[in-house]
């Protein structure tokens, strides 16, 4: 499984070029490292934390920011298996986060406290997928 941890410049520019004035929902698929990989010199570099423990640190430090910008976790599930898709991709965290606007998401990722806390995510994650979606109507049928 190829490691995707942070967006590349082209992906981030594509995100920013979309309409920012409506709610967005972000599908998060996250696979943890067995052992967190903090940068050399970080206070937790030699702590021996698991990826799950480092991700919990990320969650704890970013929770006040998420609350302040009006975001929330809409849904969280426990990964079981992939029916259609690449074999070998399995996920430790699967959830959908809703942001009131894309502006709010951008406010979060540029917040100085968030920028310090993201080191925990980077240490925790072996690979991930983050998919931006616009809310759409539900229904009782596909399509």
Sorted by where each begins, the domain ranges of the chain are 9-15+24-133
Residue 136 has, within 13 A of its CA and on its CB side, a CA count of 7
Which pLDDT score, from 0 to 100, does residue 142 have?
86
- Return the CATH number of the domain spanning residue range 9-15+24-133: 3.30.70.100
| Contact call for residues 29 and 129 (beta carbons, < 8 A) | yes
Three-state DSSP state, 17: helix
Q: Does the structure show a pLDDT above 90 at 143?
A: no
| pLDDT digit string, tens, across residues 62-118 | 999 999 999 999 999 999 999 999 998 999 999 999 999 999 999 999 999 999 999
Query: pTM for the complete prediction?
Result: 0.93
Instruction: Assign 47 a pLDDT band (cuts: 50, 70, 90).
Output: very high
């Amino acid at each position: 499984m190829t490691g995707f941890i942070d967006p590349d410049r082209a992906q981030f520019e594509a995100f920013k070029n979309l309409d920012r004035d409506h709610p967005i929902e972000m599908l998060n698929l996250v696979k943890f490292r067995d052992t967190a990989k903090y940068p050399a010199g970080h206070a937790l570099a030699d702590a021996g934390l698991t990826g799950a423990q480092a991700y919990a640190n990320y969650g704890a430090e970013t929770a006040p920011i998420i609350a302040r910008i009006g975001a929330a976790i809409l849904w969280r599930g426990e990964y079981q298996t992939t029916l259609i898709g690449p074999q070998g991709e399995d996920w430790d965290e699967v959830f959908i986060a809703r942001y009131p606007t894309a502006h709010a998401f951008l406010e979060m990722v540029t917040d100085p406290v968030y920028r310090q806390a993201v080191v925990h995510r980077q240490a925790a994650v072996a690979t991930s997928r983050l998919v931006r979606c616009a809310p759409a109507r539900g229904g009782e049928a596909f399509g």
